[in-house]
Amino acid sequence: MGLLSPQDEAVLKQHLSAITKPVTLLLFTQTFGGSESGTVAKAILGEIAALNDKVAVVEKNFVLDTEDKAKYRVDKAPAIVILSDGDDTRIRMYGAPTGYEFVGLVEAILVAGTGKIDLDPQTLAWIQAVDKPLHLQVFSTPT
């Protein structure tokens, strides 16, 4: 049995139908010495990708795929890097995307797949005016 109920799958599929651009979810996991959350993350991403053919999951080995790890500046695992039509969205999720994180993941996939940013025009203008690097780390828990 999957992690998502048939009802959740139906709702999610509806949301994902807005996607027009290919979305790639790069999943970095650690086979040895890694936590169980990597397995959970893989299962969740697989269930999402099964609902929309524009969403694909590509697995990377956190220890062995050093080139991609450096390219996407991934410093811990499990990590999900979200690509929009092959381009880095600069959105990362670290840890298993369960609970509230799952909502964040779906929203990030929608931003990547539609190119639409659901922000107030004033807020968007402030963000677009940022002219120096800004690194946000948002800490949350599954419940």
Partner 1 sequence: MAAANPLITADAVEATEFMDLTRKYRVTGVPKTVVNETIEILGGLPEQDFVRAALEMPDNEPPTTA
Distance CA 93, CA 131 (A): 24
Q: Which region among 8-16, 45-53, 62-70, 109-117 touches partner 1 (by CB under 8 A)?
A: 109-117
Regarding 95 and contact with partner 1 (CB under 8 A), the answer is yes
Regarding 112 and contact with partner 1 (CB under 8 A), the answer is yes
Regarding 71 and contact with partner 1 (CB under 8 A), the answer is no
How far out from the chain centre does Cα 118 lie? 17
* Contact in structure between 94 and 78 (CB atoms under 8 Å): yes
Nearer to partner 1, 7 or 122 (CB): 122
Look at residue 26 and give its three-state secondary structure.
strand
Using CB under 8 A, count the residues that bind partner 1.
40
Q: Which region among 14-22, 23-31, 42-50, 131-139 touches partner 1 (by CB under 8 A)?
A: 131-139
**Interface residue with partner 1, options 12, 92, 109, 113 (CB under 8 A):** 92
What is the residue whose two structure tokens read 């807020």? 123
* Contact in structure between 71 and 26 (CB atoms under 8 Å): no
Distance CA 85, CA 1 (A): 31
Nearer to partner 1, 1 or 135 (CB): 135
Closest CA to 62 of 81, 49, 85: 81
Task: Return residues touching partner 1 (CB under 8 A).
Answer: 35, 37, 73, 76, 84, 89-96, 101, 104-105, 111-112, 117, 119-120, 122-124, 126-128, 130-142
